[in-house]
């Protein structure tokens, strides 16, 4: 029997914003941009949720429900920085660690009780370390598989710890609403409710064949999860195939100069992401979406780099070749692919590249200590 922890940051984006600006504490805060724009809610504080707000909600709807809320565009580079710091702390404890998203981690502590003591005590220690070192609250679920651990981490939010002992999985799940099961979305929920299925015990009291026949593979998976089963082994190394940043304009843009300025900022951010992961990229893709929703994607292979200037110059060339219609632009984005580990290829660089690389490394150290915005690049026009 395995022991899996699921550590989930509580309102992670909001927690980071409150670290950056303590005046936001105890106030309804919404990350998602201009409340009169076309975006959606990326995250909202527990104070904002009392008004009916939730992630994925159109930002304009959120503003109607909570007009006195504090609406922020968000500091996504800071979110990545704090996520990396959290992962570094957890890696010091965990023999096997899987990062499921920017704010959640699975940890396999099977057989580690003799090292750390009882599992709830270990969870409390992790919580305290996250608060003391990063000022980030989190909730932790402990179970015999990933499904149970994930459901348990959400059971006592915020700042909760829930341990489901081996053999008690079905008992723990029985009275919970079916929508807590990972994979049960709005469509599946409606279908199950129409058949009188509202809580998890409604599923376990029915034969597995019923769900397999009616819902196929997803029904079979649903029945297994309802009975306390799930994946027991983690995937510690997930290959990331791309990094992307994009911007949807509040008002459509028809100026090539303005598009280049926005692209320059995106290139600086995406280069910083490469630096943080110690990677080089050798393929750049530009994405343009016109106001009539026609979307164009063009890419180019380059010599491996993490240099923001090279990334910008390449993507700016793609922009000039792509922006061929007299129609305003709604969205612009950039994506990097084909990664290699930076340290493995340094010997291929000439002296100028090495010196520039050292300068970029120094900039990266400043940003890691003082934040991404502490030092910025500018566009130099001939």
What positions carry a catalytic annotation? 104
CA gap 148, 232 in Å, rounded: 10
Tokens of 20: 């950056």
Largest interatomic CA distance in the chain: 73
Closest CA to 339 of 277, 266, 252, 268: 277
CA gap 97, 303 in Å, rounded: 33
Tokens of 336: 């990097």
**What are the Cα distances from residue 78, in Å, to 224, 272, 373?**
38, 11, 9
How far out from the chain centre does Cα 295 lie?
25
8 A C-beta contact, residue 172 and residue 161: no
Closest CA to 304 of 314, 289, 290: 314
Phi-psi region of 183 (alpha: psi -120 to 50; beta: other; left: phi over 0): left
8 A C-beta contact, residue 171 and residue 127: no
Q: Kindly write down the DSSP assignment for every residue of 115-152, as one continuous string.
A: HH-SHHHHHHHHHHHHHHHH---EEEEEESSHHHHHHH
CA dihedral 67, 69, 71, 77 (to 10 degrees): -160
Q: Angle, nearest 10°, between helix axes 208-226 and 186-194?
A: 130
Identify any residues that bridge with 58 across adjacent strands, giving them in sequence order: 40
Q: Angle, nearest 10°, between helix axes 76-91 and 256-277?
A: 10
Is the previous residue joined to 162 through a cis bond, with omega within 30 degrees of 0? no
Give the angle subtended at the CA of 136 by the CAs of 131 and 138, to the nearest 5°. Answer: 95
């Amino acid at each position: 029997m395995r022991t899996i922890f699921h550590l989930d940051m509580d309102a992670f984006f909001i927690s980071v914003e409150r670290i950056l600006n303590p005046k936001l504490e105890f106030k309804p805060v919404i990350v998602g941009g201009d409340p009169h724009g076309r975006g959606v809610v990326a995250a909202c504080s527990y104070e904002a949720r009392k008004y009916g707000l939730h992630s994925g909600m159109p930002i304009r709807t959120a503003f109607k429900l909570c007009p006195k809320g504090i609406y922020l565009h968000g500091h996504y580079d800071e979110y990545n920085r704090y996520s990396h710091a959290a992962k570094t702390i957890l890696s010091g404890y965990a023999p096997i660690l899987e990062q499921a998203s920017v704010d959640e981690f699975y940890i396999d502590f099977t057989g580690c009780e003799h090292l750390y003591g009882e599992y709830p005590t270990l969870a409390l220690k992790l919580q305290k370390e996250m608060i003391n070192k990063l000022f980030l609250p989190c909730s932790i679920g402990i179970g015999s598989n990933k499904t149970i651990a994930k459901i348990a981490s959400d059971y006592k939010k915020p700042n909760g710890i829930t341990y489901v002992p081996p053999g008690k999985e079905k008992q723990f799940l029985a009275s919970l609403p079916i929508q807590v099961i990972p994979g049960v979305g709005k469509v599946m929920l409606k279908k199950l409710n129409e058949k009188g299925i509202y809580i998890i015990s409604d599923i376990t009291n029915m034969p597995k064949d019923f769900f397999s026949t009616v819902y196929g593979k997803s029904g079979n998976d649903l029945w297994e999860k309802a009975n306390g089963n799930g994946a027991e082994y983690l995937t510690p190394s997930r290959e990331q195939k791309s990094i992307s940043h994009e911007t949807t304009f509040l008002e459509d843009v028809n100026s090539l100069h303005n598009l280049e300025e926005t692209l320059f900022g995106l290139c600086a951010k995406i280069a910083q992401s490469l630096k943080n992961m110690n990677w080089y990229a050798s393929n750049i893709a530009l994405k343009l979406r016109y106001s009539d929703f026609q979307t164009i994607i063009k890419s180019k292979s380059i010599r491996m780099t993490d240099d923001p200037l090279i990334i910008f110059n390449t993507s700016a060339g793609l922009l000039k070749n792509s922006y061929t219609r007299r129609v305003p632009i709604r969205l612009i984005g950039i994506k990097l692919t084909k990664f290699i580990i930076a340290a493995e290829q340094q010997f291929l660089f000439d002296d100028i590249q090495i010196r520039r690389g050292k300068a970029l490394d120094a900039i990266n150290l400043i940003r890691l200590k003082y934040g991404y915005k502490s030092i910025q690049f500018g566009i130099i026009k001939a």
